[in-house]
Structure 1
Amino acid sequence: MIKILFLEDEPTILEVTTEYMRMKNYEVFCAKDAEEAMNLIKNYKFDIAILDIMVPKGSGLDILEYINKSKIRMGTIMLSALGDEQTQLKAFNLYADDYVIKPFSPLLLLKRIESVLRRMQVDKSNDENLNGLYINDDTYEAYYDNSPLNLTLSEFLLLQTLFKESKRAFTREQLILKIFDDSYFGNDRIIDAHVKNLRKKLPKNYIKTVTGVGYQFNKEAN
């Protein structure tokens, strides 16, 4: 069953909207302030969070920022009577999936929920191919089950290169060009050293040796 966190401090909106969501067989956990919502996030795993921005004891944006910084994988929809561009941009800069301006139709919100869940299902299908591995191209960080792997830049670029073209086997020379560009002069066996160190940090055997060629990403890592 889909689990939804609903942060809303207006009793009527909270009651009516929750009833609509439960009619769609969603399991809804309600919070009336930011502190209560934070405690729920820390103790339960949700598929999606619907967060009113202006609430007591904090803000829905505070919760959104916590979700983003903690690398918690859930969809997020912001609710607010604030329709100004600055507030919306702040929400989307914190990677909100959608933004709904009050007053809103509960039926429309249900459609927004369905849309976010569909996008999440596509992402989940892609993530399954990684067997728990997640690569953030923007921050040059890699995670396994939301825990950072603490890779060096060279290790990250090596893993990123292999993953992005997982069907391809790379030679050591090709990997050097991807990681160091053509300014590097030295033994191509430096790649072997990086692979050795990277394998020690990876929880699964994500890198396989291709005899006579070099290395390739292993989708069937275990």
Structure 2
Amino acid sequence: MKELKYLNVLYISNNFTQNIAIEYLNINAKEFFLVHDLQNAVNVLNTEKIDIIFSEYNNIEYFKEIRKENPKLQIIIATDLIESSNLIEAIKIELLMFIQTPVEKEELISSLRTCIQTYDANKSNIINLEKDYIYDYYNQVLLRNKKIVLLSKKENDFFKYMTSKANNTVSYNEIDKSIWNGSMTQDALRSVVKELRKKTYKDLIKNISGIGYRFNLI
């Protein structure tokens, strides 16, 4: 990943078991710092310019404090258990992504790419929608009034892809290739759109007749 070579990464390990992540980051980051506890991580943050934290510690309160001093810092937490309460808190912290352990190389690279794109664009991963809906693009969580709105896998895939193309019309053909891998039927697409409108609000998803759909986020 070309962009990673310009960024400094701090890895906070509690048992050094995620060897794939350690090896990949050590080779590809501009500077790679490895510590084994949260206090040493603070010491590094106080003395070095860190762009991305990769942590095996799932300590939300700790990262709330880190965020106060580091508003642009990208945080990736590797954990075997991702609780709903943590997903809700992650929205408040922003720029915080959870990935499941054991960490696979493909997922690691995908997560890093998403973080770097957000970092380069100087934007948030949190999308504020109308009617008190909030979407966390990193963790693919839709929230309303501090409660998670449950989406099926296909609904979530569609929602994430369309938010990445916000306010632009996405053709049926592009939706088919990107979400259904070429196997989409019009009935399947309409079903997903219908359910999402029920779970959110009708004006969010606009049908462009004969062309495709658009997510209206403005």
Q: Name which one, 1 or 2, has greater alpha-carbon Rg.
A: 1
Normalising by structure 1, we get a TM-score of 0.48
Normalising by structure 2, we get a TM-score of 0.48
